[in-house]
């Protein structure tokens, strides 16, 4: 299994290199050369797996044992999820007979991103320790270090900091939009006193922070000097780790009798940067039976508008502040990964036969148009293919608050449940 850039950089990387680099030199995102199929007996063999066992089974399909030996990978996984308060890691909570919540807030910072970032932090540390040990054996005493540079709309920053705080050979710098993250999230980031943790507040929006990060990664001289690493969901390991909880939800629902051969599961995912729901797309492509993945957006509805009209374009008023700030994003970075698969499928049905190179060229052109013009006119067949696996809806703040109120108020024997604004969307 190798990894390549969605924009066509010719180099194929190992899993380790893809994780360490984060963003490709051409600005593209790394994706695997193939999406593996699930083993033939996966439903019966994995049915009673713990989250950690499930994580090992899925991650092993993408990480060759030659890169991370099986026992070592198990150790990294177990260490990563030992910090969670619930033994299930991501328990499925019943609201009513038709609606369940997959609770992703049981990690150290109460953010869903803990699921991926606890794992990613331990991965970074493992790779660097191994590299430095090998260098020392060969007589090179200079230690390799990694400078993690990330942007946050709130929860990524604190989850990333808690994932790498006080880890060997790693420094982390997190940019957040000044006055646009919650006081609790700001405190979680700025009160960590470990020497390797640094926070910067930026006058602007999350997209401004993300643009700074992408510019730094795109500067080859700067990147080489400081050895930049990514913790945002542009990093492939984030997507990989998040696939696991889709399978966990599936098996929890199956064990509880919620789904069967006739009654299938559907995931509705609050969506900002598209990384969370993209992990569900990979699970679906691997062979997990689900209904269409439902994308729920707030007023920053670039994705909902795309699925309605086929137009991928920025909103006229920039980023809108909402009650669900982690989703206040103008452009969804991970959408580029899905666009590559849509372009590849379109190319597969064409007569050109140029395959991967043509899909990369198409994506590179789309991303260039988006940067220059703020919009991309998508071909009709791309929208039709996107609608095969996804649906999308926009939810207002008023609807979000009404949903929170409705579930907080017990009715018809249904107990009270406190839903955060992102879950409510």
Q: Is 150 helix (H, G, I), strand (E, B) or coil?
A: strand
Q: Report CA torsion sign: 389, 315, 296, 80.
A: positive
Q: How far is CA 293 from CA 152, 282, 358, 393, in A?
A: 25, 11, 27, 11
Q: Is 232 helix (H, G, I), strand (E, B) or coil?
A: coil
Q: Report CA torsion sign: 94, 233, 393, 404.
A: positive
For the residues of 240-279, what is the DSSP string, one character each? HHHHHHHHHHHHHHHHTTS--SSS-B--EEE-SSSHHHHH
Q: Which helix (H) or strand (E) holds 388?
A: helix 380-389
Report d(CA 201, CA 67) in Å as an integer.
37
Among the residues of 165-235, which ranges form H helices? Answer: 183-190, 206-218, 220-226
Show Cβ contacts of residue 47 under 8 Å, excluding neighbours closer than 6 positions. Answer: 251, 254, 255
Q: Which helix (H) or strand (E) holds 197?
A: strand 197-202
Show Cβ contacts of residue 254 under 8 Å, excluding neighbours closer than 6 positions. Answer: 43, 47, 260
Count other Cβ atoms within 10 Å, centred on residue 313: 18
Q: CA angle, corner 173, sides to 170 and 178, nearest 5?
A: 160
Report d(CA 379, CA 7) in Å as an integer.
18
Q: Which two tokens stand for residue 209?
A: 């922070």
Query: Looking at the annotation, which residues are catalytic?
Result: 113
């Amino acid at each position: 299994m190798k990894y390549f850039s969605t924009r066509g950089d010719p180099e194929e990387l190992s899993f380790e290199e893809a994780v360490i680099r984060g963003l490709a030199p051409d600005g593209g995102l790394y994706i695997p050369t193939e999406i593996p199929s699930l083993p033939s007996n996966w439903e019966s063999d994995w049915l009673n797996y713990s989250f950690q066992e499930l994580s090992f089974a899925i991650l092993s399909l993408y990480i060759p044992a030659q890169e991370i030996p099986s026992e070592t990978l198990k150790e990294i996984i177990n260490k990563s999820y030992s910090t969670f308060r619930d033994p299930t890691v991501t328990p499925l909570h019943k609201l009513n007979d038709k609606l369940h919540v997959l609770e992703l807030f049981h990690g150290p910072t109460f953010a869903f991103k803990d699921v991926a970032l606890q794992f990613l932090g331990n991965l970074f540390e493992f790779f660097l320790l191994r590299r430095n040990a090998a260098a020392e054996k060969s007589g090179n005493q200079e230690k390799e270090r990694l400078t993690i540079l990330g942007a946050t709309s709130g929860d990524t920053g604190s989850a990333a900091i808690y994932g790498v705080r006080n880890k060997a050979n790693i420094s982390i710098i997190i940019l957040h939009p000044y006055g646009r993250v919650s006081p609790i999230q700001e405190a979680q980031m700025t009160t960590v006193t470990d020497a390797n943790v640094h926070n910067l507040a930026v006058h602007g929006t999350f997209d401004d922070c993300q643009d700074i990060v992408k510019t730094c990664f795109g500067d080859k001289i700067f990147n080489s000097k400081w050895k930049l690493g990514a913790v945002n969901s542009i990093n492939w390991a984030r997507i990989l780790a998040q696939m696991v909880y889709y399978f966990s939800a599936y098996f929890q629902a199956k064990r509880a009798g919620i789904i069967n051969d006739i009654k299938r599961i559907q995931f509705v995912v609050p969506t900002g940067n598209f990384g969370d729901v993209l992990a569900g797309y990979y699970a679906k492509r691997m062979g997990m039976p689900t209904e269409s993945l439902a994308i729920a957006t707030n007023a920053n509805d670039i994705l909902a508008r795309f699925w309605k009209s086929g137009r991928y374009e920025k909103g006229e008023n920039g980023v809108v502040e909402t009650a669900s700030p982690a989703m206040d994003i103008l452009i969804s970075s991970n959408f580029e990964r899905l666009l590559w698969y849509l372009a590849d499928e379109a190319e597969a049905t064409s007569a050109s036969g140029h395959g991967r190179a043509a899909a990369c060229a198409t994506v590179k052109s789309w991303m260039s148009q988006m940067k220059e013009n703020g919009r991309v006119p998508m071909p009709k067949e791309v929208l039709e293919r996107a609608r095969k696996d996804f649906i999308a809806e926009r939810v207002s703040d008023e609807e979000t608050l009404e949903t929170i109120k409705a579930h907080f108020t017990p009715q018809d024997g249904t107990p009270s449940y406190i839903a955060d604004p992102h879950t409510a969307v």
